[in-house]
Amino acid sequence: MASVTTPEVLWWALAPVLLLAAGGLLLLTVASLVRRLPGYLPQAWTVAVGLAVLATTPPSWVAVRDGGPRSLLSGTVAVDGSTVLVTAALALALLATALLARPYLEREDLPGVELYVLLMLSAAGGVVMVSADDLIVLFLGLEILSIAVYVLAALHLRRFESQEASLKYFILGAFASAFLLYGMALVYGATGSTRLGRISGYLAGTVLLDDGMLLAGIALILVGLAFKVAAVPFHAWTPDVYQGAPSPVVAWMAAGVKAAGFTAMVRVLVVALGTHASDWRPAVAVLAGASVVVGAWVAVLQTDVKRMLAYSSIAHAGFLLLGVQAASPRGTAAVYAYLVIYTLLATGSFAVITTVGGAGDGGHGLEAYRGLARRQPVLAGAFTVLLLGQAGVPFTGGFVAKLGVLAAAVDGRTYWVAMVAMVAAAVAAFVYLRILVAMYLRDPEADEVPPHVVPPGARVVVGVACAGVLFIGLLPAPLLDLARQAVPVLVGG
């Protein structure tokens, strides 16, 4: 009998995906069999799975550092430093969302375990995406991540806004996926493989006489990914979806989806298509410049805090693109550090927004924040730290993040986009200032506004986010070292 050679499987490297997928499916099965689950169980299970994923990352990190990056499952999946670091960030975002979800579901009277199940499956897709070493696997991960988030956005059954947000996100997300996939097909046609390692090897060893198909493919992949990470001019869905979707879900969208999207972008553009950097760098630089300008400018005109933060997330995407377009190890390291810091900033900010939104998830106008500092000084103080972090004020993590990508852009000699980003950052600071002014200087509209109940889960998320942002701001070296060691490499061939 002929023996079958099975591909190499490294269980430790696959553990995060397996834990998340098995955890989600198990919870779904149990919830459909058992009539009444205790209320705390789904959340406790999700938190346990998230902690387990987080616990797998330090041993994996050590294994990658000592044994080098590895390719497994016949070169379709790879594990390197960036995979492990972003998996940890995704686990943090998952934990934060799960902690925010239960008080939210109780307040809005939404029974069911679907949020937790979809959240874990979405995170599994995110982990697949950050460990993909093949364009098709990357596409599968992206779709597992996105399809779950489309449903999560529609989760609030009684808010029409939630369903409208979901449909908008779904149609535009599917549109973007089609572009991404078409781009992948053309890159496959031009290089003869969907494996990132083989694409890179082929491009390094061959001079393409007619590279029209390859360039069209790169352009379409860029459009698809720019949609997913909400870069201008492909950002139109972001404010509506952020405004309409349930607030804890927005925390996941902002932190998790962006982290996975940018890691995939770095992998495809910088690592696999690095030989053609001179072709895609100008395009990414234009996207970066447009995103920081539009994100900062339009945020100033908003009156809804969720929409303000949606535009600020567009500006953050622009800063991240600044690191991508540098196409250097320094740039990618800055992107990973930024992603970790942004995970903290976004989850913390949306924890405050979930709390202040109140029953019905509708109180997101600037007026809801008036006099918050007098009514709930601790909550307002924590939000202040997070907003200053988002603005990039020195001694917060946001400053470290922005400085890293700006330095990488200057290093890559794209001075104009670095200048534009610095001016835009100053404009964006005005947005955060408006929220701060509302919190500290304005009197409450009515003195009898009852204080918002801050559930323990939200306290943990806000506390950890603030502590993390301040710690990184004062002592950035450990995170920057990790990010520098996380530079992605090609191992498959």
Partner 1 sequence: MVVTTSWYLTLAAILFSMGAVGLLTRRNPLIMFMCVELMLNAVNLTFVSLGTDLGDLSGQLAVFFVLVVAAAEVVVGLAIIVAITRRRQGATADDLSVLGG
Q: State the number of binding residues for partner 1 (CB under 8 A).
A: 40
Residue 136 touching partner 1 (CB under 8 A): yes
Taking the least distance from each CB to partner 1, the nearer of 125 and 397 is: 125
Q: Residue from 39, 67, 112, 192 that binds partner 1 (CB under 8 A)?
A: 192
Cβ proximity of 242 and 153 under 8 Å: no
Residue 331 touching partner 1 (CB under 8 A): no
Taking the least distance from each CB to partner 1, the nearer of 80 and 143 is: 143
Query: CA quadruple 140, 141, 144, 150: dihedral positive or negative?
Result: negative
Of 22-30, 103-111, 174-182, 454-462, the window that binds partner 1 (rule: CB under 8 A) is 174-182
10 Å Cβ neighbour count for 477? Answer: 9
Residue 57 touching partner 1 (CB under 8 A): no
**Which residues touch 228 (CB under 8 Å, ≥6 apart)?**
142, 146, 173, 176, 180, 257, 261
Q: Residue from 168, 281, 330, 452 that binds partner 1 (CB under 8 A)?
A: 168
Residue 303 touching partner 1 (CB under 8 A): yes
- Nearest distance in Å: CB 367, partner 1: 13
Of 102-110, 153-161, 267-275, 326-334, the window that binds partner 1 (rule: CB under 8 A) is 153-161
Residue 336 touching partner 1 (CB under 8 A): no
Residue 147 touching partner 1 (CB under 8 A): yes
Residue 304 touching partner 1 (CB under 8 A): yes
Residue 239 touching partner 1 (CB under 8 A): yes
Read off the tokens for 65: 């550092």
Q: Measure the CA–CA gap between 493 and 233, rounded to whole angstroms.
A: 35
Q: Residue from 181, 253, 327, 435 that binds partner 1 (CB under 8 A)?
A: 181
Taking the least distance from each CB to partner 1, the nearer of 302 and 332 is: 302
Q: Measure the CA–CA gap between 357 and 306, rounded to whole angstroms.
A: 10
Residue 182 touching partner 1 (CB under 8 A): yes
Cβ proximity of 417 and 342 under 8 Å: no
Q: Measure the CA–CA gap between 358 and 365, rounded to whole angstroms.
A: 11
* Burial group, residue 286, by CB count within 10 angstroms (0-12, 13-18, 19+): middle
**Which residues touch 154 (CB under 8 Å, ≥6 apart)?**
162, 163, 165, 166, 167
Write out 187-247 in H/E/C secondary structure. Answer: HHHHHCCCEHHHHHHHHHHCCCCCCHHHHHHHHHHHHHHHHHCCCCCCCCHHHHHHHHCCH
**Which residues touch 391 (CB under 8 Å, ≥6 apart)?**
398, 425, 428, 429, 432, 433
Among positions 241-280, residues that touch partner 1 (CB under 8 A) are 243-244
Taking the least distance from each CB to partner 1, the nearer of 147 and 385 is: 147
Taking the least distance from each CB to partner 1, the nearer of 37 and 185 is: 185
Residue 208 touching partner 1 (CB under 8 A): no
Residue 143 touching partner 1 (CB under 8 A): yes
Helix (H) or strand (E) holding 79: strand 77-79
**Closest by alpha carbon to 94, among 147, 45, 35, 27?**
45
- Nearest distance in Å: CB 312, partner 1: 14
Taking the least distance from each CB to partner 1, the nearer of 111 and 192 is: 192
| DSSP code at position 34 | S
- Nearest distance in Å: CB 370, partner 1: 18
Binding site for partner 1 (CB under 8 A): 136, 139-140, 143, 147, 150-151, 154, 160-161, 163-168, 170-171, 174-175, 177-178, 181-182, 184-186, 188-189, 192-194, 239-240, 243-244, 302-304, 307
